[in-house]
Amino acid sequence: MSNYSGRRNGGYNKEDAQDIIYGVRAVIEAVKDQRPINKIFIQKGMNKELFYELKDALADKKYNLQFVPQQKLNKFTRKNHQGVVAQISPVPYQKIEPIVEKIYEEGDIPMILLLDGLTDVRNFGAIARTAECHGVNAIVIPNKDSVSITSDAIKTSAGALGRIPVCQTHDISAVIHYLKEFGIQMVAATEKAQKTTTQIDFTLPTAIVMGSEDKGVSNKILGLCEEKCKIPMTGTIASLNVSVAAGILMYEALRQRL
């Protein structure tokens, strides 16, 4: 019987609330079964024999691994976790390549959303809800230093994360290059842009790029985007919440396409 828990323990952040699997062999089986794993937490200084068994199972895999104190793992479960806990996504992640190919095969114009370093699950859920309402074909997120699909994100999205494809990648730059090969323009939202949202042609195949809550789109990703735009504002507050800003860009794209 696998060590699985759908329960939420009160000792960790609400953002982390999701299904977990604990124990070395249970996690190894989840890896073999290709379960949608968000993160794997490994105890610093865990039993060497168990660690090497887990290490062999994870070889050549691109999971988000975090080495943490035992106290961190104890907050997930009070049972014998053997020094490893895996957070399991309630919804399977998908691949961006077949999604893009299908869009073109059906004669549609792609609208993809890339989230570069977003960290708040409530923002993620709100963005996904708006994306589903505005015809976005897929959402792309990194598998490190980023939000992932959790029960709380699904709840905030009003179930949209169960309907819109979410693609998790270890290299968002590679995804951008792939999308460009298919003629999809990259439009980054940034306050430093000269153009405003209405000056971008969203009727073209487009991927909208939104950044993290505090730093925005990273310089590396900005450099890969041929278009950049800002939202016109007249107030004294310098910026908008990222989920609100994403909603404005998605609305402008839909407005132009309608």
Boundary (domain end) residue, out of 59, 88, 117 = 88
The answer to whether residues 113 and 198 belong to one domain is: yes
pLDDT tens string 87-108: 999 999 999 999 999 999 999 9
Q: Provide the pLDDT for residue 12.
A: 33
Together in a domain, 30 and 156: no
Q: Residue 48 sits in which domain range?
A: 4-88
> What pLDDT is recorded for position 160?
96
On whether both 251 and 194 belong to a single domain, the answer is: yes
In this structure, the answer to whether residues 63 and 115 fall within a common structural domain is no
- Ramachandran bin of 17, using left for φ above 0, alpha for ψ from -120 to 50, beta for the remaining angles: beta
- The CATH number linked to 50 is 3.30.1330.30
What mean pLDDT is predicted for residues 152-159?
93
Q: Are 13 and 72 part of one and the same domain?
A: yes
Q: Which residue has the tokens 């949608």?
A: 36
48-92 tens-digit pLDDT: 888 888 989 898 888 889 999 999 999 998 899 999 999 999 999
| SS3 call for 250 | helix
Can you tell me the distance from the alpha carbon of 20 to that of 87, in angstroms, rounded to the nearest whole number? 5
Cα separation of 255 and 197, whole Å? 11
- What integer pLDDT is reported at residue 78 of this predicted model? 87
Distance CA(222)–CA(74), nearest Å, equals 40
Among 33, 55, 88, the domain-final residue is 88
Residues 101 and 81 in one domain: no
Which tokens belong to 91?
């919804």
Within this chain, do residues 84 and 120 fall inside the same structural domain, yes or no?
no
My answer on whether 60 and 38 are in the same domain is yes
Using the 3D structure, point to which of 88, 107, 124 is the last residue of a domain: 88
Edge-first strand listing for the sheet containing 111-115? 166-169, 138-142, 111-115, 206-210, 185-189, 227-230, 195-196
Beta bridge partners of 256: none
176: alpha, beta or left, given left = phi > 0 and alpha = psi -120 to 50? alpha
**Residues 44 and 129 occupy one common structural domain:** no
**Encoded tokens for 73:** 């793992």
Dist. CA 79–CA 243, nearest whole Å: 37
- Total number of domains in the chain: 2
Contacts of 41 (CB under 8 A, 6+ apart): 66, 67, 68, 72, 73, 76, 84, 85, 86, 87
